[in-house]
Chains A and B, each alone.
Chain A
């Protein structure tokens, strides 16, 4: 299944590094999301984009910076992260942001911050 792809799949970075996560959806959807999944915790919504416009920022620290150049691509730029930011970062997309629209997830990027 290649509806939503994410790269890299695994990433190890130091606290002073700058890196970017990439997400691409091939489903013709208009909405894209970033989620964080930490061990033993539920998925947490980070950002929502609808038609390239950010519609939700769930009080995410500024060391995470999203970018959505078009409806098919979503980036998450990372800088000066902390070890507690180590988690699985999942991208999802849906046709729109109406209530009840199914969200389709990418395989995630497993991030380790040293």
Chain B
């Protein structure tokens, strides 16, 4: 069973659309959660951490549901520059060991 599972997509959306991704994780003891963004042939870059109470950064909102063991990312008013692969990352308890999902690909079309 995979530690972290994501829908690979691609999600093809027009500019200005709202799009949401979910990610499920298997280890109920996981403590920290992140969304990273990876552009084609580039390295992953931190998009945002995910806090228990949910958090927002501009057009991006992240939510955590511990009971159902999933995290979500909502992107409002999509821009062409949002086109990338979004990686869900879960951190084990007691150690900074990252488990990555395979990523969800987003294509924002004009």
Contact = CB atoms under 8 A, between A and B. Distances in A.
Do A and B belong to a common assembly?
Answer: yes
Interface of A: 31, 40-43, 45, 48, 56, 90, 94, 96-108, 110
Nearest to A6: B43
A108 B42 CA distance: 8
Contact of A97 (B45, B96, B103): B96
B22 interface: no
A41 to B, nearest CB: 7
Nearest to A4: B43
A99 B97 CA distance: 8
B55 interface: no
Interface residues of B, number: 26
Interface of B: 2, 4, 31-32, 34, 41-46, 49, 87, 91-103
- Give me the 7 closest cross-chain CB pairs, A-B, nearest first: A100-B32, A105-B43, A43-B100, A97-B96, A42-B100, A42-B102, A99-B31
Q: Is the interface of A mostly helix, strand, loop or mixed?
A: loop
Given A42-B4, A90-B43, A90-B44, A103 B96 contact: yes
Contact of B91 (A41, A48, A100, A105): A100
Given A41-B102, A100-B31, A102-B34, 12 more contacts: A42-B87, A42-B103, A43-B100, A45-B97, A48-B96, A99-B94, A100-B32, A104-B46, A105-B43, A105-B44, A105-B45, A110-B41
A108 B39 CA distance: 13
Contacts of B42: 107
A103 B43 contact: no
Contacts of B99: 42
Given A42-B101, A99-B31, A102-B49, A94 B43 contact: no
Contacts of A90: 43-44
A79 to B, nearest CB: 25
5 contacts: A42-B4, A45-B98, A48-B96, A98-B96, A107-B42
